[in-house]
Chain A
Amino acid sequence: MKSRTTILSLTLVAAVFAIFATGSANALTIKRMTLQNGAVLLVSPQHLLPMVTVDIAFDAGARRDPKGKAGLASLTASCLTLGTKTLTPEEFNRKVDFMGSSVSVDAGRDYAVAGFTSLKKYEDQSLELLAQALTEPRLADKDILRKRGEQVAGIKSSLEDPGYVASVTFAKKLFDDGPYGNPIDGTVESVGKLTPADVRAFYQQHYKMGDAVIAVAGDVNPEEIKAKLDKAFAALKGTVPAQAEPEAPKVAPGIHLNLVNRNVAQANVIMGFGGIARSNPDFYRLQVMNYVLGGGGFASRLMQSVRTKAGLAYSIYSGFDAGKFPGPFGVVLQTKNKSANQAIHLVLQQLGEIREKPISDKELAAAKKFLIGSFPLKFDRLSSIASFMLQVELNKLGLNYADEYPKLIDAITTQQTLEVAKKYLHPDAIVLVVVANQREAAIKPADFEKQ
């Protein structure tokens, strides 16, 4: 695609390929505007296909769940598409399906994202349905109670997945009742107690356009779509009060073992501690360090040690889940019950090693080449362009982020990755969750601690 006329353009290609120059003339252009109701709008026109994607991020994620009401943000989000003041849930669904569109509202951990994907010819009608859902949702008692039952059943179903149990247990241990302590969908107990009044109140308090971010990618004209959005969401004024940042989790020295007994063939292991917020300036250094440790797939040390050499796991990775608030760092793996001790030992060994010795120049170069060179892969479809734009705005990365990112990554040294490894990796103060057949796994610290 040839770049099209816009005022602010994000010259991705030129920047990213300053190092790996490409002959391509295409560029991702983004126009940033502000709606009358205060929402920030980012538009990336893409005219190759007759389709449109719209995503709106509201400050209505699960971190906003009130104490004792885990799962409320998620329930509220899914109730918003259950009909409007003028349409029953059935009529609403039939209209959406008849166009072949998808209209959805989903709560994530930090934000709820509402939006649609439609053919160009159904853009106006899809927008109209989304606007109705967000500005005058039906929120009838009987529909909310049905959705609540669905959510509880869904959680019971998820509990069959040992990986889910491990991650829920890990988050609870690390964050307790903080904004990141509970599963996004809540628990069987917490959701069972939610009322229609809770849902309506959460909607009233958190679906405010004043601090929302809208990303539009596809076959649109920026001025036209702005005018349509101004009209459609004129009613949703106001902002959401700021939320106090929680204390970063602190894990006391020692290995905090949490064993959950299940009739499973594999031990599902998560080990980790508190991490960072996305706004932490060490984010980029940690990204490089973690690529080498466990984020870089088959190039990573954990994969090489635990999978390629030892054949102990199919999947193993590590990561800092950097959110609005400091999230966790975790290593996640599954291995047959009997080899759990051995796999944990290998992970602790790698966590220790990367804190003691700088990574090699070769590892550093490989990490940089991937992180910089693969950047354009974030834009290979409309949905990923839209979510990239949301991230840029919500995390205040700036419209020149694509220019800045390669510079930020390229400046990192092996000494700096060593510093952040020492500062942020704590193998001596770690939460260790093992969901397994405990008799077979026979987890023993003597077997996995330093030998």
Chain B
Amino acid sequence: MVRVMRSSPRCPFLFPAVSAAVIVVLMFASAASALAGLTDHVETETLPNGLKVLVLENHKAPVATLSIFYKVGSRNEQVGKTGISHLCEHLMFRGTKKLGPEQFSKIIQENGGTDNAFTTADYTDYFEIINARNLDVPIRLEADRMANFDPKGFDAEKAVVMEERRLRTEDNPEDALYEITKAQAYVEYPYHWPVIGWMSDIRHLTLKDALAYHAMYYSPRNAVVVAVGDFEAKRVLKQIAEAFGSIKNGPEAPPFTQTEQEQKGERRVTLKHAANLPALIVAYHVPNLRSPSAYPIEIAGEVLGDGKSSRLYQDLVVNKQMVVDVSVGYDMTSFGPQLFTVSAQMRPGVKTKDVLAEIEKQLAALRDKPVGAEELQKAKNLEQAEFVFGQDSIFQEAMLLGVYQMLGDYHMLDQYIPSIDKVTAAGVRRVARKYFIKSNRTVGVLVPTGLLPHEAGGGKQGMIR
């Protein structure tokens, strides 16, 4: 899942550590750490205005989290207005009828909490983690900015978002390649454009656009509020109902109608970018959790890319030593049609086409031969462990409850591990044969152009004054 956060984590990286080892990033790790059983303890309520509320007690530390999800993301945007979801998210911190710009965060911090927000293609999430005693503060503040959105300093915030795009995408070869590959893979479906939006669109967004967007999508019926932590559920349910109960719904949003047609033939895209090393993304269209194929696809991802004993790591990093890193991405919880991706960055002197051939060889092995019993069990064990580890974080628990609720019902979480357990070697082979084929893939290749500007030589050092 691509998330565009409102602010970067506040850790000084004056001494950055390069991860020399290859790190396999699994985008589906969050889905893997589902929390079956725990849904039994969730208390829930739907307010008369349509707002859905989920509350879960967790008493391990005197801390609580509030997370409010709006079912709006970049897929709801229109051509020419991309980035409005994310800009709207930023503007939510720019004040209400009662609050000045950034006062929201200051109040949260003074109450011993931290706050942030992020936008995805599907939804927008605002969250606070705070000492449990003060959970009523974010509850009131979130209700206020749902009802009384009145941002100040629009132009400055737009400039901030353009800086964010420069930081995240323009100066980041990996993200730039993902953006262009995705734009090639999705033709009709609005996952075509980046969550942060195209630069020319961001530049021309107006305050009027944002106000209209908020009025339409930031309605109680379009939101899910989740609270998890060290509190009494009944009391928090009551606080939420009091704060949000009187908020009125805005105009109806237009129905979502887009789909993606089957891909008929390989697509390729090349990006020349300032970089040292070539990089590669291979993306296959695959279904999301609405299809029973989602679980065998998830297991295929584990077999290929989770852990140092995974096939791609063993082959490309250890044995052939061709890549700096290789990773597999699949998020079955997306609202729309999903991509299964394999990404790699070449070692110096290694050709992209050789790595692409090697990745294809590994996918062919999945199509041709059933995964062995021990390897299948290993993949399931990895899922089981991540499932438990995920429950160690109240933020993660709130995330999963909110996302599954937006998908229809948080109880679907209970099906996660049983569905994983039912996956068979034949099932993995079946999805590999169906989806991991050449005519269904988009290949994005990053061609490095070096790190220096084209017009200039090296840097200089000096002392002034």
Contact = CB atoms under 8 A, between A and B. Distances in A.
Interface string A254-281: 1111111111111000101000000000
A22 B62 contact: yes
Interface stretch (B243-251, B354-362, B390-398): B390-398
Interface string A101-119: 1000011110000000111
Contacts, number: 344
A144 to B, nearest CB: 12
B157 A311 contact: yes
A146 B318 contact: yes
Contacts of A263: 274, 449-454
B465 A377 contact: no
Nearest to A264: B171
A312 B60 contact: no
B263 interface: no
Interface stretch (A228-236, A295-303, A353-361): A295-303
Given A49-B388, A147-B20, A314-B160, A261 B15 contact: no
A297 B160 contact: no
A109 B12 contact: no
A332 B393 CA distance: 29
Contacts of B79: none
A108 B171 CA distance: 27
Give the one of A164, A272, A373, A437 with max B CB within 10 A.
A373
Contact residue range for chain B? Answer: 35 or more
A159 interface: yes
Interface stretch (B202-210, B290-298, B379-387): B379-387
B307 A97 contact: yes
Nearest to B113: A374
A410 interface: no
B111 interface: yes
Contacts of A254: 463-465
A332 B14 contact: yes
B388 A51 contact: yes
Contacts of A66: none
B166 interface: yes
Given A157-B324, A380-B61, A309 B14 contact: no
Nearest to A23: B133
Contacts of A48: 58, 60
Contacts of A17: 62, 131, 133
Contacts of A1: 59-61
A398 B130 CA distance: 25
A427 interface: no
A438 B391 CA distance: 48
A155 B325 CA distance: 12
Interface in A17-31: 17, 20-24, 26, 28
Contacts of B345: 157
Interface in A192-245: none
B18 A381 contact: no
Nearest to B323: A153
Nearest to A296: B109
A380 B394 contact: yes
Contacts of B167: 266, 314-315, 334
Contacts of A16: 62, 131
A24 B132 contact: yes
A21 to B, nearest CB: 7
B131 A377 contact: yes
Given A90-B314, A308-B153, A297 B105 contact: yes
Given A23-B133, A146-B318, A315-B7, A98 B377 contact: yes
Given A255-B463, A262-B274, 9 more contacts: A90-B309, A100-B383, A147-B21, A157-B277, A261-B452, A266-B167, A321-B14, A377-B131, A380-B60
21 contacts: A1-B60, A26-B59, A50-B388, A51-B392, A90-B309, A119-B384, A119-B385, A146-B318, A153-B347, A154-B19, A159-B451, A160-B275, A160-B451, A168-B16, A170-B14, A263-B451, A299-B102, A311-B153, A334-B166, A373-B110, A377-B129
Ranked nearest first, the 8 interchain pairs of A and B with the lowest CB-CB distance are A373-B112, A100-B385, A311-B159, A311-B156, A151-B20, A97-B307, A298-B105, A22-B133
